[in-house]
Amino acid sequence: MIIFVTMSADGKIASRTGESRLSCYYDKVRLHKLRASVDAVMVGANTVVKDNPELTVRLASGRNPIRVVIDGKLVVSTNAKVFDVSKAPTLLITSNKAPEDKVKAIIAKGVDVVTLESKDGFIEPNTILNTLHSKGVKTLLIEGGGNLIWSFIKEKLVDEFRVTISPYIIGGKEATTPVEGEGFTDINSWLKLELISYRTCMCGNEIHIIYRVKT
């Protein structure tokens, strides 16, 4: 499983108000090529709320992956672009904490909806992966945000961490970072990475780094 994020030089993927347009044109192309190479691309609810992404392949050739939205309490709008299945198939993974009328409205749009049992709306990442496997998904890209990424990193379910460093400083302790949640504590628990490659972006002002997670 691959994570791809674009962060500012001070390590933020969005400002505290949710502004996240950090990528140059070439970084978007890089992301779209990666989308075209995987079976599914996944985002958390807040990314849909703040960015309203389409999650399709538009700046590269290749097929659209299945778009997967993780939203335990179902806070996203039924009109989100990702629910327009004329563009690409979409799978919503939610929980029994989701409002029933909203679930029905999204199903009516042609979205594949899987509702899982949960005490508080949180769905275990392993359960998400099992659901995806049952749908034939073998390769997965997580695009964010920081809370969804943390839930997978916490369980050490990530193979690669790809990050573009973009020439901005955003600042602010409430700005979103690539990995949110409570974080690990001592060095023994940290996720260990191995540098695979790094290159200057064609714009000349960004660096793209690929790390493999050490097992």
Ligand X SMILES: NC(=O)c1ccc[n+]([C@@H]2O[C@H](COP(=O)([O-])OP(=O)(O)OC[C@H]3O[C@@H](n4cnc5c(N)ncnc54)[C@H](OP(=O)(O)O)[C@@H]3O)[C@@H](O)[C@H]2O)c1
Binds ligand X by CB under 6 A, chosen from 2, 3, 13, 82: 13
Contacts of residue 17, defined as CB under 8 A and 6 or more positions apart, other chains included, come to none
Whether the Cβ atoms of residue 3 and residue 164 lie closer than 8 Å to each other: no
Nearer to ligand X, 120 or 186 (CB): 120
Please report, to the nearest 10 degrees, the dihedral formed by the alpha carbons of residues 90, 144, 2, 137 taken in order.
Answer: -20
Q: Write out the binding residues for ligand X, residues 68-127 only, by CB under 6 A.
A: 70-73, 75, 121-123, 125
Q: Is 56 in the site for ligand X (CB under 6 A)?
A: no
List the one residue out of 4, 134, 145 whose CA is nearest residue 69.
145
Q: Write out the binding residues for ligand X, residues 123-182 only, by CB under 6 A.
A: 123, 125, 143-148, 151, 176, 180
Nearer to ligand X, 77 or 200 (CB): 77
List the one residue out of 15, 27, 46 whose CA is nearest residue 168.
15
Contacts with ligand X by CB under 6 A lie at: 5-6, 13-14, 18, 20, 22, 43-47, 50-51, 70-73, 75, 121-123, 125, 143-148, 151, 176, 180
